[in-house]
Amino acid sequence: MSHTEQSLSEKARQGFEAQFHRAPAWVVRAPGRVNLIGEHVDYNGGPVLPLAIELQVIIAAAPNQSDVVRLQSAGWPEVVEISLNGPLEKGEPAWGNYVRGVIAGFQQRDVTIPGFDAFIVSDLPHGCGLSSSAALEVATATLIEVMTGAALTLRDKALLCQKAEHEFAGVPCGIMDQFASTFGKADHAVLIDCLSQEVTPIPLRASGVAFLIIDTRVKHSLGDSAYAERRRTCEAAAATLGVKTLREYPVSRLDEAEARLDPISLRRTRHIVTEIARTFEAVKHLQAGAWSELGKLMYASHESLRDDYEVSCLELDEIVRVAREIGEAGGVYGCRMTGGGFGGSAIALINAPDLAQVKERIQEGYRLPKGISFISTRAADGAGLVQG
């Protein structure tokens, strides 16, 4: 256990004791994720290349001898109470819906869940594109597995959490976030084929490179209509082109698509099919440690997300602009927005010895009034039990 994880776990234990006046029986954790490349292709059946990160959600919990779940979060003032008598429905506060959805998923599997109290802590910044919601879902599912003995396969756990986000948070997300939080492996990226749901750990031969997350501090909500609209557009484009998903449509046929799709649908389709090709190419460069080539793909991915998929923003574009100006000579191999977009974070691939200098130069070169912050991370393990 890292020092950071140990201190966060202790914060969860102390918070539980202060709120519920006894010691927790279990402590569980689940990480956030950052995606190296493969953006918005998960719900189109494409490949994605995330890694679980060291920032995470930790839940301390104990049974309470009732039929009510009581939740307190260090990040939110409200106490959430969830009655286990009868079907669960969405409610307020909204953050409790991630937990409600996971509980409902286990109940649909005929798992009897006893009442329990839980205290939740996280060092994942909310809304910065690092999948804090998926981490909360996966941590909740891990807790229920531990407390009931109803262990799921990693795949089934991730899919249960994805369904919770669809039905209780109203976000039609793909499988990437929940799979990354569940299947993550230290010092590995995770190649997830979202069509076959096959997961392949990719060793990070990265002793000389660092992954730098730059948070724009511009908050986004994937529940906004823009995300759902893009998914609908992709599904309609696939139907028009005669394929089940855009994963099945090759780059070589984009000229044909131009005659069959309206301009917006064409741009969305072009991003998806070229991003899929970039992701498969990126795996080869990652395995070979070909950082310059991987960096070029990251820049190309950002341009496609900005121009064709239109999910970037001024702040993300500014970070990528500064990174390009610094260039390889200054220690930056590549940079792109990561996550759903409309704010959130960028990820930069950095020559490790230049990391401190790169941070300074990005901070100095960033011209927009709202500040940015930095997160350096290593690839971490997926969800698990800390105590219990």
- pLDDT tens, residue by residue, 64-104: 999 999 999 998 888 999 999 988 999 999 899 999 999 99
What mean pLDDT comes out for the span 18-30? 97
142 and 210 assigned to the same domain: no
* Model pTM score: 0.92
pLDDT at residue 213 is higher than 60:
yes
DSSP single-letter state for residue 313: -
Question: Where does a domain end: 144, 171, 202?
Answer: 202
Question: Where does a domain end: 202, 229, 264?
Answer: 202
Range of 314's domain?
204-377
- Specify whether the CB–CB gap between 40 and 237 falls below 8 A: no
Question: The domain that contains 9 carries what CATH number?
Answer: 3.30.230.10
**Which of these is catalytic: 42, 117, 123, 177?**
177
194 and 248 assigned to the same domain: no
Vertex 181 angle, CA 8 and 183, to 5°: 125
Residue 385 lies in a domain: no
284 and 272 assigned to the same domain: yes
CA distance 350 to 204: 14
114 and 214 assigned to the same domain: no
Predicted confidence band of residue 206 (pLDDT cuts 50, 70, 90)? low
45 and 135 assigned to the same domain: yes
15 token code pair? 């918070």
Residue 387 lies in a domain: no
103 and 179 assigned to the same domain: yes
Nearest to 181 by CA among 387, 379, 346, 386: 379
pLDDT in tens, 342-354: 889 999 999 999 9
166 and 305 assigned to the same domain: no
Residue 234 lies in a domain: yes
42 catalytic residue (yes or no) = no
Question: The domain that contains 368 carries what CATH number?
Answer: 3.30.70.890
73 and 171 assigned to the same domain: yes
Spell out where the chain has E strands. Answer: 26-35, 47-48, 50-63, 68-73, 76-83, 116-122, 188-193, 198-203, 209-215, 332-338, 345-351, 373-377, 384-387
178 and 267 assigned to the same domain: no
CA atoms within 13 A on the CB side of 269: 30
Question: Where does a domain end: 202, 217, 242?
Answer: 202
Domain count, the chain: 2
Average model confidence (pLDDT) for the chain? 94
Nearest to 374 by CA among 347, 351, 352: 347
What mean pLDDT comes out for the span 104-114? 96
